[in-house]
Amino acid sequence: MKETIQARAAAHGFDLCRIARPDIAARHAEALHYWLGSGMHGDMAWMLEPDRLARNTSPSSMLPCVKSVITVGMLHSPPPYSLAKAESERGRGVIASYAHGDDYHDLMKKRLKALARDLDGLLGAHDQRVYVDTAPVLEHALAENSGLGWQGKHSLTIHRDRGSWMLLGELFTTADIEPDEAATNHCGTCSACIDICPTKAIVAPYVVDARLCISYLTIEHKGLIPRRLRPLMGNRIFGCDDCQAVCPWNRHAKNPAINLLNTRAENNLPELAILLQLDEEGFGQRFRKSPLKRTGRARLLRNVCIAAGNSADSSLVPPLLASLDDAEPLIRAHAAWALGRLSNEENRASLLASLKKTAAHEEDDKSHEDMVLTICEIKDNLI
């Protein structure tokens, strides 16, 4: 029966499928409490909600009488370029490879629901729930418990043969299915992911401080990016693949046989100048069905402004100047910072004049404060 279930999962596009009991090992629960207690969740205050926290550490609470959790992994294509190539394309932005196509949340949830219907035919009707990323489920811990892969030092799930370029989902069911053996850890003494992290967000093996993580900063964080972290972000505008790109277990990772995420060429190192010119309608059209749409235009262009500031590309000054008039204070503040980074002896006076004029009319307190700091840095030639 397990082989039949795995075959059905494969038919629905899931490359990996394992079975676990609805339990979380004590060490994972302890790690979560330590992480939250240390404030490493940043401004994701919802993670502290008592009901959510209880569900995180007790999967059996997600569905009455649940007996089994089917964990699935859908492989996605690694970045079609090297880290060195991505960093050298300073006038272009880097988008995490899983987000080069359609939003996996919607795609995987539909396919998990189809798998649930298949289970009713195989095992008889049972209560079932499907989850993809957004629910209070410790998906990496369950994946490890099911034998799908172990949780690496970068906190992501690694499969011994398929690597870590995968997306996870879970199907909770009241059906009693024989579980698989838990995965064992094979990271050994390797510290490649820790060493490569641009912001040193992996503060200890298996511990990622979201407040430093580029994925969190570019996707989840809603406000101004801390100024000290902006130069470290390089040209990453949505997520970050660095820790996976250097993982030895990904050396032989291959593209999935079928690209269900419908990867789009326009998301492969997009031009920053073009992105800076997107209005709300253009943003909605370009990123329709894309994970980037969840971030919203203001946050994405905030990230694009930072990448532009790190580009050393003076051709980006005109679109950044235009961004000083944007309706979003988040964009205005980061455009000002980027212009400060691109200031030089030739344009310093004119940029200062533009920034002073913008700051004088800035009504958002935090954005105004950030602009003033940029102006002072330009004056003192600290940039």
- Report the catalytic residues: 133
Given a contact cutoff of 8 angstroms between Cβ atoms, the answer to whether 92 and 269 are in contact is yes
Q: Are 199 and 212 in contact (CB under 8 A)?
A: yes
d(CA 351, CA 339): 7
The CA-CA-CA angle for residues 319, 298, 296, to 5°, reads 130
What 3-state class would DSSP assign to 20? strand
Q: What is the rounded distance in angstroms from the CA atom of residue 270 to the CA atom of residue 264? A: 11
Residue whose C-alpha is closest to residue 173's, from 59, 58, 13, 74:
59
Residue with tokens 């964009």: 331
| Tokens at 175, concatenated | 């059906």
Beta-carbon contacts of 349 under 8 Å, excluding residues fewer than 6 positions away, are: none
The amino acid sitting at 164 is S
User: Sign of the CA dihedral 353, 358, 359, 361?
Assistant: positive
Listed residue (273, 35, 9) closest to 138, CA to CA: 35
Angle at 165 between CA 58 and CA 143, to 5 degrees: 20
